[in-house]
Each structure stands twice: as C-alpha cells, then as structure tokens.
A and B are shown apart, each in its own frame.
Chain A
Amino acid sequence: MSESTFDPAQALKIDLSRGQLSLMGSSGRVLVPTESLAELLAASTNEAISAFGAGIGTDIGRRILERLGSAIERATIELYLEHLGGELALSGLGSLSVERWGKALVLCLEGLGDSAGLESMVMSLIEAAIQRSLSRDVVVLRLAKTDGLLRLIVSGRHAKFQIEQWQAAGLSYGQILTNLHQNPLVEASSTRGES
C-alpha cells in the first residue's frame, strides 16, 4: 500500500493581483475572522450550519480521496488522520487527533473556538468528509469539551438518540462510552457474530 502522506506545500496561494485565494487548487476561498464566523453561525439555523459545514467537508473528503485513491479503504488510522487533520488545519479549524475507546471512534479537536455554531459546523464538516471519502453514512456527536479539547464520537444514526439521552441524563462521556459497549443489543449481536 502506498503511503501517501499529507503535503501542505503550496497549499494556500494568494493572488494579490486578482485578490483571490486558492486552497489546494480550489479557488474562491475567503478569509474571515473566526469570531465573525461564529457570530454568523450562531445566528444561523442548524440546517444552515449543517449545510455550511457539509459543503466544506465534502470538498475536504474529495481531496482526501483524490490523494489516497483506492488505498483509502486500507488506510491506517494514522494515515487517514493525517489527511483529515491536515485539511482541518489548513482551514483554520484546529488540530485533530483520534482516540479509540474500544470500538468507539472518538475524534479530538483542539484549538477550535468556543462557539456552538463552529462546533456544529465542524461536526457536519467531518460527517461530510468521511461520507465523501469513505462512503460511510456516519453521525458525529459531541461528547464533551474539556480544557479546549472537543471530543466527538463517530457512530451510526441509530445510536444518536441513545447518546443524546445519556447526555441529557448527565452521564459523562466515559460512562457513555462504557454504555455503548455494554449495551445488550451490542453484546447479543456480537455473540451472534462469534457463534
């Protein structure tokens, strides 16, 4: 498998004569302040924020897929994290890392501003990027944010409601992760799979 590392060289180009920004060959970028964007997102609806983030994420997913090609299905966690985190970093959305809690995939984003609109936008962005690059319909939910580190869990749409209930019940993200693995449905399904 070819290990295509993320290369940010000449990723951002500013055409001063034309007043244009291009990112990874994609022109038509605009540099806006984070606070302004947060205020805009805060005033926007959830659907608008999700659409805004999904648009950006789809573009990111497309570039990742272009770089990794068919090997993306066999890409290791580190390699995929390198590309996805590189794209987020180029967009100014923070530093991305991965935590694996058993079978649960937890993405940690650090450096993102304290804005619910931004968080919602980033979650929609990651969902769209994964869906575009890996052709998986996933749901990214917010687990917790401690010390500027935002933890996002990647799950299916069927688990979205249960996780939100646990969050509403005041469970910590550790308990939520534990409950995800101790769910009888999960155990029953795993037992059937083993048998």
Chain B
Amino acid sequence: MNLQSIERLQNLLGRIQQNVKLPRTRTGGLGAFIVTPTSAAPALTLAQPAAPVVLPEPENVLLEQTKVSAAIAAKSAPEEEIQVDVEVPSLEALDAGDDGAALENAALENAALENAIEDVDLEDIAVEVVSAVTTEAPSEPALERQVAVMPFSVPPALDELTFSEPPPAPEPPAAVVEPRPIPVAQVVSEAPGSIDAALLAATEAHAAAAEPADAERAEAVPAESYRGPAFTPPPESGPQLTVPPMAAPAVPADYRGPAPTIEQLGELIELEQTLGPPLELAQPASEPVPALAKPPEELEFVPRASVPSRPLEAREPMQTLVGGFTEEEVVTGDATGPETPPPPARVFLRPAEVPAAVDVVAQQLESRQSTPTSVTTTDESAFGEESPTASSELAPELVARPPVALARPVVDVISAARAYRPASFLELLDASVGLLKK
C-alpha cells in the first residue's frame, strides 16, 4: 500500500466520521439514498451526484460506479451509514482504452481498494462492499445508459394504498426508510438502443418494480387488519375489503361463554302460582269399580239380571172431572227442582164420572154400529198402561171407513188416438178411396 492509497483511505475515513455527525437524509430522484445496512441482506446505496453526470469520453476509461456501503456500528450511535464511492474501471473500458495503462491503473485501483478495506477493518466498523461491476460491455452509448438509470427513483415504500393525506412532516433523522431492494443487474446492465427503447425499458422496469406491489395488492386485505381510512375504493383499483360470509359462527360444544342477556332473550313473564287446592278427580262413589278377582282372561260375561231402572211415569186415575186436578194427579217425573215446571198430565175419565152428555154421544155411537160403516172399539192399550177397565160402558170408538169395492180400476187411461201415417202413396190412396165406402 503506497502512501497515496493510505492518504485516500484516511480521507475516506474522515469523511465517514463527518457523515456520522450529519443527520440522515433521504432524497428522491437523482439524490443519494442512505440506507441502513442490515445484516440479513446487503443494502444498496446509490450514490448519485446531485449535479448532472458528465460522462467521460468513449475513448476514456469507463469507470463504473462502485457502491460501497459501510455501516459503522458505534457504541454511541447504533447504526451509522458510510458512503463510499469508489470508481472502478470496467472490463470493457479496459478493452476499449489503452490496454496496458488501463489494466495497470485498474489493478492499482483494486489493490488500493483492497488495502483500504483492510486498513479500515476496524473492530467497531463493519463495512459491506457491494460491487456492481458489470462484466458485459455496453453496446449503447453512455448517455442512453444514464437515461436507463434515471427513473430509478424508489417509490415510497409505504403501503400499497394511496392516501390523499398531506405530505408527512419531516421525519426525524432516525426514521430511515428502507428502500425496496432492486436487482443490480437490472439497473445497470440494461442499455436501450434509443430514447424510445429507453423509455419503454424504463416503463417496464418500473412496472417490474411495481409487480410485487401489485401482487400484494391483489391479495385481499382482511377487514379486521385494515387500518386505513374508510372510503370506497374505485373498482379494481386496489385491495378490496373482504367481508367474511355471513355464517353462523361455529360454537364449540364446551363453550362456556357469558350467558345471554335479557335483551337477547326477550321479556320473561312469570306465571302466577295456582290459587286453591290442586284438582283431584275422584271416582264416583255410586259405582265403585270392583276389584277383579280373576284375571281378565278368565272373566265370563254375565248379563245383568235386573237393571236398575229409573222410576217410570205413574199415571194416577183422575179424581175429578176435566178442568181440575190435584198435585197427586200430576205425573211425577225426574224433575225434582222446585222451579222445574211439571209435565202435562194425562187425564182419563172414569165411568162413574162421565156426565150425561157423554152418555148421549155413546148412545149415538152405538146406534151407528148398525150402519155399513164399521165401528170398532179401540184397544185399551192405546190409552196407556193404566187405562180404565175394559168393561167400561163408554169407551172411545174409532169409526173406520169401509173398504172400497173396486169393481172397476181406479185409473182409466184414455190413450190418444193413433195418428194415421200412411207409409206409401198407395196406402193413402186406398184409405182415401175407402172413405164413405159401404
């Protein structure tokens, strides 16, 4: 390691120490990105100059920008960024330029870099060197290649949702946004042939960079995990809120959650207790059910010898004439209540109490017995079980009409005269000729 390299490394170390004190900044566009190095994956820091890049002449040696990110783990400061810009000549530049001088310079530069890294190898500083030296020679001019690099402005690595909120306040220096890792080969190696091709390539590159975001966007965001503002996204413009299907939640069998509230169950009405003694159904005492001495299979049917009948109607003979009767003459029935009207009584005349007028009628009826009209004495049973004696002198008689002697049939059907309908002209002619014929 020569003195020049040592000097450069010292300058580099000084710059690093100065940068440690500076606040962390994040710039877009062509600005440099200061990325917090992580141990999981090497972070890439694009150290782009703020001023426009002036490309060297084609005949000159093309040096690719080598990005070295050094993370200094200081005790006081947890994470520090070290930005090291080292220009390393590419192979194509070596091929295109002076072979001997270029190779020698390149070897010297590499050796200086290695020495610098070795010298800077401190215990408290962790340096990660990311070499992005391209091995392929650029087929296109450097100007176009620069255009291809320009669109790499890392989009805000926030959520995929676009918010219409005002720009956030300047973040504290500690808040460092971790950019999305971009493949180096894609960034550097592609060199479009024209401006249109460069624009197309830039568009494709941007789209390729946005593909993971789209893939994530395509995934549905659960409603419970969504914390963004409530708004209606345009159709197919972003992640959609997925509402789980309305289905009854599966309740485990041994669920011992809180009991339902009154509002959930509704109003509960308690029934009043019954008043009075409990209802008892007692068997009638008049007809007690006899205990079966024998099993039902051995029982015999024995008809009842005497059925206890209700008291029959008793018609007592009338003591007085028609028009008056005592309570004894009233037929006693089942009506026992005082308010129940008594049934009508049947009154019979006794022979001794028949008035004289009735005797006259009886004599007239007897005189008619000689007439052809048959007079028959009615049966006594027609008047009831307790009719007067059969030997009564005056008994009702039924006068029946004598049977009609049917000498001739009752119905005499006079048939209509049969209409004369001759079947032929000759028949009608003969009938007409026969009129007034003797």
- Is residue B436 contacting chain A, with contact meaning CB distance below 8 A? yes
Cross-chain contact B435 with A186 (CB below 8 angstroms):
yes
> CB of B426 within 8 A of chain A?
yes
Query: Out of A77, A100, A104, A136, which one reaches B435, CB within 8 Å?
Result: A104
B433 an interface residue at 8 Å Cβ cutoff?
Answer: yes
A155 within 8 A of partner (CB): yes
What is the CB-to-nearest-CB distance from A179 to chain B, in angstroms, rounded to a whole number?
9
Which of B420, B426, B428, B438 touches A73 (beta carbons < 8 Å)?
A: B426
A-chain residues with CB within 8 Å of residue B431 when the two chains form the complex: 103, 105
Quote the shortest CB–CB distance from A52 to chain B (angstroms).
Answer: 24
Interface range for B: 10 to 19
A contact residues around B425 at 8 Å (CB): 75-77, 79-81, 134
Does A18 have its Cβ within 8 Å of any Cβ on chain B?
no
Q: What is the interface of chain B, defined by CB distance below 8 A to chain A?
A: 420, 422-426, 428-438
| Cross-interface CB contact of A154 among B420, B422, B433, cutoff 8 Å | B433
Give the contact stretch, choosing among A4-12, A22-30, A114-122, A156-164.
Answer: A156-164
How far is it, in angstroms, between the C-alpha of A103 and the C-alpha of B435 when the chains are bound?
Answer: 8
User: Chain A: interface residue count, which band?
Assistant: 20 to 34
* B420 and A77 contacting across the interface, CB-CB below 8 Å: no
Of the candidates B423, B428, B436, which one forms a contact with A105 in the assembled complex, judged by CB atoms under 8 Å apart? B428
Say how far A77's CB is from chain B's closest CB, in angstroms. Answer: 5
User: Cα distance A158–B437 when bound, in Å?
Assistant: 6
Q: A105-B429, A154-B429 are in contact. Are A77 and B422 (CB under 8 A)?
A: yes
Q: For the complex formed, measure the closest distance between the CB of A83 and the CB atoms of chain B, giving whole angstroms.
A: 10
Most buried by B among A79, A81, A156, A189: A156
A94 nearest CB across to chain B (Å)? 19
Closest A residue to B425 using CB positions: A80
In the bound complex, CA of A139 to CA of B428 (Å): 14
A134 and B436 contacting across the interface, CB-CB below 8 Å: no
Q: How far is the CA of A102 from the CA of B417 in the complex (A)?
A: 12
Is A195's CB within 8 Å of the partner chain B? no
**Cα of A84 to Cα of B346 in the assembled complex, Å:** 92
Residues 147-195 of A at the B interface (beta carbon under 8 Å): 153-156, 158-159, 162-163, 180-181, 183, 185-186, 189
A sample of 23 inter-chain contacts (CB < 8 A) reads: A72-B426, A74-B423, A74-B424, A75-B424, A76-B424, A80-B425, A103-B432, A105-B431, A105-B432, A136-B429, A138-B433, A155-B432, A155-B433, A155-B436, A156-B433, A156-B434, A156-B437, A159-B435, A159-B436, A163-B436, A183-B436, A185-B437, A186-B435
CB closest chain-B residue, reference A159: B436
Q: Is A130 at the interface (CB under 8 A from chain B)?
A: yes
On chain B, the residues within 8 Å of A130 by CB distance are 429
Can you name the residue of chain A whose Cβ is closest to the Cβ of B419?
A: A102
> Sorted from nearest, which 7 A-B pairs have the closest CB atoms?
A159-B436, A105-B432, A80-B425, A103-B431, A156-B433, A180-B435, A77-B425
Tell me how far the C-beta of A117 lies from the nearest C-beta in chain B, rounded to whole angstroms. Answer: 25
Residues of B within 8 A of A155 (CB): 432-433, 435-436
A105 CA to B430 CA, complexed, in Å: 9
For residue B410, give the distance in angstroms from its CB to the closest CB of chain A. Answer: 26
A153–B434 Cα distance when bound, in Å, is 12
- Contact indicator per residue, chain A 77-89, by CB within 8 Å of chain B (1) or not (0): 1011100000000
Give the chain A neighbours of B430 by CB distance below 8 A.
136
| Bound complex: CA A180 to CA B435 (Å) | 6
The distance from the CB of A56 to the nearest CB of chain B, in whole angstroms, is 20
Query: Do the beta carbons of A189 and B429 come within 8 Å of each other?
Result: no
Contact A136 B426, CB 8 Å, known A102-B420, A103-B431: yes
6 extra A-B contacts, CB within 8 A, seeds A73-B426, A134-B429: A74-B423, A81-B425, A100-B422, A103-B428, A156-B434, A189-B434
- Given the known inter-chain contacts A79-B425, A102-B420, please indicate yes or no for A154 contacting B437, CB distance below 8 A: no
B431 to chain A, nearest CB (A): 4
